[in-house]
Amino acid sequence: MGNSFGKLFKITTFGESHGKALGVTIEGCPAGLAIDEDFIQQEMQRRKPGQSKITTQRREEDEIEILSGVFEGKSTGTPIGIVIRNADQKSKDYSHISDKFRPSHADYTYFEKYGIRDYRGGGRSSARETAARVAAGAIAKMLLKAKGISVQAYVSQVGDLTLEKNYQELDLNQTENNIVRCPDPKIAEEMITLIDSVRKDRDTIGGVISCVIQNAPPGLGEPVFDRLHAELGKAMLSINAVKGFEYGSGFEGVKMRGSQHNDSFVKEGDRVRTTTNHSGGIQGGISNGEDIYFRVAFKPVATIMQDQESVNESGENVTVSGKGRHDPCVVPRAVPIVEAMAALVIADYLLLAKSDKIQDI
Amino acid sequence: MGNSFGKLFKITTFGESHGKALGVTIEGCPAGLAIDEDFIQQEMQRRKPGQSKITTQRREEDEIEILSGVFEGKSTGTPIGIVIRNADQKSKDYSHISDKFRPSHADYTYFEKYGIRDYRGGGRSSARETAARVAAGAIAKMLLKAKGISVQAYVSQVGDLTLEKNYQELDLNQTENNIVRCPDPKIAEEMITLIDSVRKDRDTIGGVISCVIQNAPPGLGEPVFDRLHAELGKAMLSINAVKGFEYGSGFEGVKMRGSQHNDSFVKEGDRVRTTTNHSGGIQGGISNGEDIYFRVAFKPVATIMQDQESVNESGENVTVSGKGRHDPCVVPRAVPIVEAMAALVIADYLLLAKSDKIQDI
Amino acid sequence: MGNSFGKLFKITTFGESHGKALGVTIEGCPAGLAIDEDFIQQEMQRRKPGQSKITTQRREEDEIEILSGVFEGKSTGTPIGIVIRNADQKSKDYSHISDKFRPSHADYTYFEKYGIRDYRGGGRSSARETAARVAAGAIAKMLLKAKGISVQAYVSQVGDLTLEKNYQELDLNQTENNIVRCPDPKIAEEMITLIDSVRKDRDTIGGVISCVIQNAPPGLGEPVFDRLHAELGKAMLSINAVKGFEYGSGFEGVKMRGSQHNDSFVKEGDRVRTTTNHSGGIQGGISNGEDIYFRVAFKPVATIMQDQESVNESGENVTVSGKGRHDPCVVPRAVPIVEAMAALVIADYLLLAKSDKIQDI
Amino acid sequence: MGNSFGKLFKITTFGESHGKALGVTIEGCPAGLAIDEDFIQQEMQRRKPGQSKITTQRREEDEIEILSGVFEGKSTGTPIGIVIRNADQKSKDYSHISDKFRPSHADYTYFEKYGIRDYRGGGRSSARETAARVAAGAIAKMLLKAKGISVQAYVSQVGDLTLEKNYQELDLNQTENNIVRCPDPKIAEEMITLIDSVRKDRDTIGGVISCVIQNAPPGLGEPVFDRLHAELGKAMLSINAVKGFEYGSGFEGVKMRGSQHNDSFVKEGDRVRTTTNHSGGIQGGISNGEDIYFRVAFKPVATIMQDQESVNESGENVTVSGKGRHDPCVVPRAVPIVEAMAALVIADYLLLAKSDKIQDI
């Protein structure tokens, strides 16, 4: 249980950080979609380690291999199997922690749950698993692109350094122009400086990623439990290190009065629009055609380059020493992961909406 | 799609606000659990309208009727069917808005999705649907109680009035002692005054509910997509009016360094414990035996007693007038709903954990 | 687990034979379908007890009540909740077997599985549960009818009395003209005589139901595990007393050579057709547009009006005496159940097929 | 949809006959199970082509590679990813049929469903996909073996050559001693002769596989839709070329009276047993501790070495010529597939049964 996501456009992943490979099976991709392998690989590059001075220096090429489901450049409707070999598979690196529980990692909880654990770099609990999600998300993005829908995420906070501008005030095409993936060049520079200083302190820091989905049609969402934002929230909360999710007005909206918060409807040409968008493009769990936007909170990475007190499997007090190559801040590399998961949700709900009305059957 | 929640302990709901009845089918409740109907009814009373001056004055007795799955006072392992008749079924009240889209309600999105809508009081999109969840949650709570696990929610913010104390500094048994369900009597009083003044303004206001789960065993959670907090988050985001979810350190944790945020492990008697609990009792998506806690943001109720500009199904400009009996603030009545959904998640994950290890099979 | 059937057009049932009521929640019925309550009730009459001298004389009106999901005569896209009250709820009838395991009933297996059982008339294991399926199937049938698809079942064997004619040689509109539901009046008469003589022997007998689905479009089916015939097979095997399922050439096809069995393709007007139909309308698990046909084997009813040796919950030898009012042969009343389950499968697969091709999204 | 099977012990497969590889992800295998790779490979050998003169002479080594989920020889509770590379990937072989619909293959139905098809050897519809099932089934078998449960299938009919003996009269350990996998050496010889003569006629023939599951505990099965035999039936019907399924008395049981068919309960030592087993070890959809047995009908393989009339994608009349290397009869190689699917069902239901009773939670 727990390795699949989605209902019709559905992915199933496998793989540990230091096993032979990661993999993902993508079911439900409609037949006839042109599959651009280069695009998938580009998305992988955005997530891969070693891409800049503020990410882990671990080396993984993260080359994808499509094993099925694509024929003569197009999806065939059958499941698309993709594997990503783990190149940097140095399990010896981890012998020093093989029986120790690293603080705020999943070592202890996996051990309690399964009675056994693959101690090499976190095993299944490692964020390395998200590589498979990015590959699958790239295919979802192609589907959305074919329907004119875009998904764009960016870093909006690092520590207490906050990008105060709204997404509408930003040029999201600038996100990829700097290594921290913040579309405001000035704030980006400050974020990079902050992350770099934290790294030099042998410490880590948290951040926030904002995401905007544009041109999604009205009518996406499955009430009552599978509301569109509930599924987006679950998708985000399933990403490593995520501690919170809010959409539209979010936690700030709590302070507003209904008379301020309500989004008035108006007719704009053929379309019904809203004059404001505190709803974040979703009302009653269903998209209303406005921009869908949300924010995702990431905690500071648990692996720090410092000694920490802990216990081992026998319950003895031990010291866990920081070793290896790790990210001082996870958000720059998490931007494509957020986009991938969002794209998977929207693709899935697009398919689900095909059978809403009797006239469509 | 979308009317079921859970995997093994699973509920399926039906019903509209002004239809004949609401209902829920509860699958997977282990056989032999003593079912206390009075307790279920008590939980219903906590959610029902008309319970105090700061809730809607609509009248619904919300009497449950168990139709199956219980024999001689015990669950039999077969699905428990429950119906709740809608007593206050005045559909004429709604003729004035039958073709109008109320701002920030689901009128427009349901109409776009389904091409047809039950305009009587929101139909399926009404929070009335949560009555069925509370009934099901009461059964989940009985299961948890039998295992020593408690789930307690309370109001921690109304508008910008915030209860600054941590749950550990509060006596959660006082939550039910006031009509706003805030365990701090002084802040409760202020909250009640605020809500009452908002009500007199014919307006509404948002709030935050905090929730604590105690004595859950370590090992609950299904990585990677069905992490315990991802499922809790989805459960909460599926409740009407919810705009955000955070657990443990949440959005505030973003600002911390890893060296501050990490929870050190120590041995305490037989148990492995953590000295702090920024993780909110969940690491790598699996419970670690510490208290699980989270916060849920609710927007101001969309129905206000004021005139608002909108459009109708024909796209014409119309005025929507506030009528009827509505909550000025949703959080007091949402406390049992949050508890119900949390209990359902924990009950489900308890069952899922029974097959984790080969020695348990 | 196990009380739901279907993926998009999905039903969830609850209810025991001697509880207060049976119920079903139907999800995924597309919005805007005209719902004819009279038709549902007619289908219920076809299944209800006491309808003729060769069925049980138990009395149940099996009146349905729609609680949700229908507004102004049309489906709204929200779940349709239906309850059927149990009128004939004489639990005292069953005290004589409260701790005895009736041979070839589910008494022993439910007791082993759940450690507790509702001994009143089989509880959840009673075929009474199928009333809820017939109600749901009636809605699926309306959907299929709107698409020009028909589902027709009939009794083709009782004991060793076999209707040798193929469905093409029969007038299926005559099925309802006799109480055994065999479209050949002469064989029907013989079957009725046979069942009646078995009944007088205080015994029971098995039978076979054949079913034909016409005008289903090509392209329905979800390879590889959810092949159309695999889902039909599961649907049928989930009906009480069913022991076998075969489609197309079935078990007889085993004896054929490939050169005899293969169905040649030809062009007929605009359509690709096959000259024979040993495939039963399904190739590779996907419908090919030809008639879908299959056969379902039902064992003799386990309740006989004779004394039988058995054991009780304490493992003591006991005699189980036949009492009450039971069917001497289940197939006449099972015809609408077979149709209901077949209609549910086809409706579900119709919806699933809406997202097969990129051009449809 | 359709590429996953199982609820807790769940598999998801991908792969086409002439793509790069097949694969399977196995979720829910309890942690701590010793994984014997050699055993998995042995099971693969039983299914692989080219193993005898009565199977296709195609060559595939079907070497499995485990990519995840196993650490230091044991399952870790995380998904087990397995790939099987396609060695014999000669796509040019298939150019002669690239736009033709082979009779009784899935060429036409895939084309109708998806509007595109991988014409190389059937693509996803090829029985090659079952290699992934056998690999997964081998892991399920290890789990069952650890619990003392055995699953044994054998060929009981080829064409009209029928093994009349019951499984109890046979030594099932002899099944692997001949190339047709029939435990009666004399009948096996006749079957081999028959298949060989069919092969020389450039034709194919059908067969039946019987299967017995021993030592399954009572209490497995999930009423009402997921009855144990319904899931077994679906599992079998999802195998290529299967046309029918029956368990226990099956279609023959139809002819019996209830007084003959009912299985009397008796106490035998500590256990409740039945004196006969027409129920096939399953009552009310739940195992009763007796042997579970069933029969599966396979049609003659559609590919014959003869010219056949058909149409192509443009609707033109064409001749399809038999070419390549194919099985004259599928049943000898299908024995391990039947066992694999049966083992997967039983393993899954074993896990599901862990949460049946409150005392087990």
pLDDT recorded at residue C90: 59
Per-residue pLDDT band for A89 (boundaries 50, 70, 90) equals low
Please give the pLDDT value at position A325.
75
Distance CA A333, CA A319 (A): 29
Q: Average the pLDDT over D314-322 and give the result.
A: 91
- Give the count of beta carbons closer than 10 Å to the beta carbon of residue C239: 25
The identity of residue B74, as a single letter, is: K
Alpha carbon distance A318, B200 (integer Å): 61
**Do residues D52 and D155 touch, judged by C-beta distance below 8 A?**
no
Degrees, nearest 5: CA angle D243-D248-D251: 50
Region for B221 from its dihedrals, namely left if φ exceeds 0, alpha if ψ lies in -120 to 50, beta otherwise: left
pLDDT reported for residue D92? 61
Residue D10 CA to its chain's centroid (Å) = 16
Select the residue of D12, D25, D31 nearest A114 (Cβ to Cβ): D31
- State how far the alpha carbon of A342 is from the alpha carbons of A232, B21, C291, in Å: 6, 36, 42
Q: For B253, which residue in chain A has the nearest alpha carbon?
A: A299
Phi, psi of C360 (to 5 degrees): -90, -10
**Interface residue A210 vs chain B (CB under 8 A):** no
Which residues in chain A are contacts of D128 at CB distance < 8 A? Answer: none
Q: Which of residues 39-68 of B touch C (CB under 8 A)?
A: 65-68
Query: Quick count: other Cβ atoms within 10 Å of Cβ B289?
Result: 19
User: A24 and chain B: CB distance < 8 Å anywhere?
Assistant: no
Model pLDDT, residue D96: 73
Angle between helices D331-352 and D37-47 (to 10 degrees): 140
Residue C95 domain boundaries: 4-360
Judged by DSSP in three states, A122 sits in coil
Is C240 one of the annotated binding-site residues?
A: yes
- Rounded Cα–Cα distance for residues A77 and C352 (Å): 12
- Give the pLDDT of chain B (361 residues) as one tens digit per residue: 899 999 999 999 999 999 999 999 999 999 999 999 999 999 999 998 888 888 887 778 899 999 999 999 999 999 999 999 998 666 566 777 789 999 999 999 999 999 998 888 889 999 999 999 999 999 999 999 999 999 999 999 999 999 999 999 999 999 999 999 999 999 999 999 999 999 999 999 999 999 999 999 999 999 999 999 999 999 999 999 999 999 999 999 999 999 999 999 999 999 999 999 999 999 999 999 999 999 999 999 999 999 999 999 999 999 998 877 789 999 999 999 999 999 999 999 999 999 999 999 9
Please tell me if residue A243 touches chain C, with a CB cutoff of 8 Å.
no
Helix H, strand E, coil C: the string for chain B is: CCCEECCCCEEEEECCCCCCEEEEEEECCCECCECCHHHHHHHHHHHCCCCCCCCCCCCCCCCEEECCCEECCEECCCCEEEEEECCCCCHHHHHHHCCECCCCCCHHHHHHHHCCCCCCCCHHHCHHHHHHHHHHHHHHHHHHHHCCCEEEEEEEEECCEECCCCHHHCCHHHHHHCCCCCCCHHHHHHHHHHHHHHHHCCCCECEEEEEEEECCCCCCCECCCECHHHHHHHHHHCCCCEEEEEECCHHHHCCCEHHHHCCCEEEECCEEEECCCCCCCEECCEECCCCEEEEEEECCCCCCCCCEEEEECCCCEEEECCCCCCCCCCHHHHHHHHHHHHHHHHHHHHHHHHHCEHHHC
CATH of the domain at A76: 3.60.150.10
pLDDT, residue B354, reads 97
Q: Is D52 annotated as a binding residue?
A: no
The binding site of A for NADP(+) consists of 47, 53
Which residues, listed in sequence order, are joined to residue D272 by a DSSP beta bridge? D267
Is this complex's ipTM strictly greater than 0.90? yes
Q: Would you list the DSSP string of C307-337?
A: -EEEEBTTS-EEEEPP-S---S-SHHHHHHH
> pLDDT by residue for chain C (361 residues), tens digit each?
899 999 999 999 999 999 999 999 999 999 999 999 999 999 999 998 888 888 888 778 899 999 999 999 999 999 999 999 998 665 566 777 789 999 999 999 999 999 998 888 889 999 999 999 999 999 999 999 999 999 999 999 999 999 999 999 999 999 999 999 999 999 999 999 999 999 999 999 999 999 999 999 999 999 999 999 999 999 999 999 999 999 999 999 999 999 999 999 999 999 999 999 999 999 999 999 999 999 999 999 999 999 999 999 999 999 998 877 789 999 999 999 999 999 999 999 999 999 999 999 9
Q: Is C199 flagged in the annotation as binding?
A: no
Q: Which helix H or strand E contains D4, and what residues bound it? A: strand D4-5
C-beta neighbour count of D291 within 10 angstroms: 17
Tokens of A218: 């009205």
Of C104, C310, C159, the closest CA to residue D261 belongs to: C104
Mean pLDDT, residues A100-112: 95
- Residue D322's pLDDT is 81
Backbone angles phi, psi at A308, to 5 degrees: -135, 150
pLDDT interval class at A87 (50, 70, 90)? confident
List residues bridging with C282 in a β-sheet: C287
Query: Touching check for D21 and chain A: CB below 8 Å?
Result: yes
Interface membership of A267 toward B (CB under 8 Å): yes
Output DSSP code: residue A68. S
CB C196 within 8 A of CB C329: no
Sign, CA torsion B119/B125/B128/B131? positive
Nearest-angstrom CA–CA distance, A242 and B246: 9
| Residues of chain A positioned with their CB less than 8 A from the CB of C359 | 32
Question: Is A119 near chain B, with CB under 8 Å?
Answer: no
Cross-chain residue pair A32–C355, CB shorter than 8 Å? no
Check CB contact under 8 Å for C223 and D106: yes
Angle value at C-alpha C49, between C47 and C50, nearest 5 degrees: 125
User: Checking phi first, is residue C209 left (phi over 0); if not, alpha (psi -120 to 50) or beta?
Assistant: beta
Residue D72, CA distances (Å) to A85, A118, D34, D75 in order: 19, 9, 9, 8
**Are residues D78 and A13, on separate chains, in Cβ contact within 8 Å?**
no
pLDDT digits (tens, 9 = 90+) for D110-159: 999 999 988 888 899 999 999 999 999 999 999 999 999 999 999 999 99
How many domains does chain A contain in total?
1
B262 CB neighbour count, 10 Å cutoff: 29
- Shortest Cα–Cα distance, B107 to chain D (Å): 31
CA angle A273, B17, A258 (to 5 degrees): 45
Chain C hits for B135, CB-CB cut-off 8 Å, are none
Find chains touching chain A: ≥3 CB pairs under 8 Å: B, C, D
Mean pLDDT estimate for chain D: 95
**Contact state of D20 with A67 under an 8 Å Cβ cutoff:** yes
Per-residue confidence band for D358, with pLDDT thresholds at 50, 70 and 90? very high
For strands B64-66 and D21-27, give the pairing.
unpaired
pLDDT at position D83: 98
Residues C233, D229: C-beta atoms closer than 8 Å? no
B354 at interface of C, judged by CB pairs closer than 8 A: no
Q: What are the residues facing B209 on neighbouring strands?
A: B155, B296
Nearest Cα to Cα of residue D296 among D344, D235, D246: D246
B76 interfaces chain A, CB cutoff of 8 Å: no
Q: In whole angstroms, how far apart are CA D188 and each of A115, C329, D158, D180, D314?
A: 47, 39, 10, 6, 45
- Using a CB–CB cutoff of 8 Å, tell me whether D351 touches chain B: yes
- Measured from the Cβ of residue B291, the count of other Cβ atoms closer than 10 Å reads 17
Amino acid at C95: S
For residues B263 and A102, the answer to whether their CB atoms sit within 8 Å is no
**Under an 8 A CB cutoff, do D14 and A79 touch?**
yes
Take residue A199 and report the two structure tokens written for it.
């790294």
Contacts A306 to B, Cβ<8 Å: 259
Which of D30, D75, D359 lies closest to B355 in CB terms? D30
Check if the beta carbon of residue C227 is closer than 8 Å to that of residue C275. no
The verdict on a CB contact (< 8 Å) between B285 and A129 is: no
Question: Are A126 and A120 within 8 A, CB to CB?
Answer: no
CB spacing of C68 vs B116 below 8 angstroms: no
Picking from B299, B337, B297, B300, the residue whose alpha carbon sits closest to that of residue B46 is B337
**Local structure of residue C262 (DSSP, 8 states):** -
Angle at C23 between CA C20 and CA C29, to 5 degrees: 165
Please check if D126 is assigned to a binding site.
Answer: yes
**B144 at A interface, C-beta within 8 A:** no
pLDDT score of B89: 62
Chain-centroid distance, C-alpha A8: 20
As a whole-number percent, the residues of chain B with pLDDT over 70 amount to 98
DSSP string covering A249-308: THHHHTTSBHHHH---EEEETTEEEESS-TTTTEETTEE-SSPEEEEEEEPPPS--SS-E
Separation of alpha carbons B333 and C192, rounded Å: 61
- Among A150, A18, A13, A17, residue whose Cα is nearest residue A82: A13
Query: If you measure CA to CA, which chain D residue comes closest to B223?
Result: D78
pLDDT digits (tens, 9 = 90+) for A285-342: 999 999 999 999 999 999 999 999 999 999 999 999 887 778 999 999 999 999 999 9
Does the beta carbon of D97 lie under 8 angstroms from any beta carbon of chain B? no
The pairing of strands A10-14 and A70-71 is: unpaired
Q: Which residue shows structure tokens 């619990």? A: D147
CA–CA distance, D63 with D61 (Å, rounded to integer): 5
pLDDT digits (tens, 9 = 90+) for A223-274: 999 999 999 999 999 999 999 999 999 999 999 999 999 999 999 999 999 9
